[in-house]
Amino acid sequence: MGMVSVSNLKKTYGNFTAVDNISFAIEQGEIFGFLGPNGAGKTSTLNMMIGLSRPTAGEIAIDGIDVKRDAKKAQAIMGIVPDESNLYNEMDGFDNLCFCAALYGMRKEEREPRARQLLEQFRLQDAGKRPYKAYSKGMRRKLTIAAALIHSPQVLFLDEPTTGIDVESSRQIRDMILELKKKKTTIFLTTHYIEEAERICDRIAFIAEGRIVASGAVPHLMESVSHGHVIQFVTDKNIESLAMELQNHFAGSKVKTRAGNSLVMASNRRIPLFPVMEFFRSKGVEVYEARELHPSLEDVFVKLTGIESSVLKKDKEKGGRP
């Protein structure tokens, strides 16, 4: 059994099914990404996993603890970063961290050094004595993550950790997530940023309309959507007029021009480079670059979910940049 185990989880609100019979497991030290557009069921799933919402059906276990039966015991080993930074405006950064530590029963002599350590780790030591309400969005997000880590949880739940914050803070947060992985912290992360999921997650589940459409490691997901072999050629002159001739010359291939000096050749079989180069040379064209193209995770997402990537991009625009 993994560190996190979810089986046949379902959540309905009246006639609306927010989460529809999903199952997955996360191993210790793994970063598991939940990728989907707004309203796909990401936060509903997370809320059930952390004990803030009751499942309509299904089971959730965190390190073998049944969350439905013993949520408080499970919460003791969880760190939770909600989609909105939700610390106390009236308190400064240091006091906020100490208060969160006290909620986990940490004594003063444990929580104060730990709070200082986290402020330093997140480069917030200068802001530690400033009230939380005076923090920028990025600083708030970092302090909220620090608060979730105050008791050194075994499992960290991150709901859209980098939405709406600046590039530098996002980068710091991603680096911190990768650091935690090295320390064997298990991480469940929801996001609608495809690039973020691709960059840091060991495995990803695509969720759409409450269902997991596909899940697996990034290379595995890529392989699942085979699009044959694609090579892009960049040449010294305009080759638009040669596209059709090239396609006819190599049976079974499809050729599309991209700008004037570039074309893409696709085939279900491997494309032998030498004959293609010979073809270009015979036409007096010099090839500067030949590069194999792989499908992006975005292509995979679109193909598997049927959701246009523009939907995710709209969500991204609403939330800010990663």
> Tokens 């049927």 identify what position?
306
Q: Which helix (H) or strand (E) holds 17?
A: strand 16-26
CA 318 from centre of chain: 17
Least separation in angstroms between residue 4's CB and other proteins is 16
Contacts of 152 (CB under 8 A, 6+ apart): none
CB of 159 to other proteins, least distance (A): 11
Least distance from other proteins to the Cβ atom of residue 84, Å: 6
75 versus 169: smaller Cβ distance to other proteins: 75
Shortest Å, Cβ 75 to other proteins: 5
Q: For binding to other proteins (CB under 8 A), which residues are involved? A: 47, 50-54, 72-73, 75-76, 78, 80, 82, 84, 86-91, 99-100, 102-107
**Sign of the C-alpha dihedral, residues 89, 93, 95, 100?**
positive
Question: What is the Cα Rg of the chain in Å?
Answer: 24
**203-208: strand order across its sheet:** 78-81, 155-159, 186-191, 31-35, 203-208, 211-217
DSSP reduced 3-state for 282: helix
Closest CB to other proteins among residues 50, 207: 50
Considering the complex, state which of residue 100 and residue 246 has its C-beta at the smaller distance from other proteins: 100
Q: Are 39 and 210 in contact (CB under 8 A)?
A: no
* Shortest distance in whole angstroms from residue 72 CB to other proteins: 5
Whichever of 84 and 308 has its CB closer to other proteins, that residue is 84
User: CB-wise, 72 or 182, nearer to other proteins?
Assistant: 72
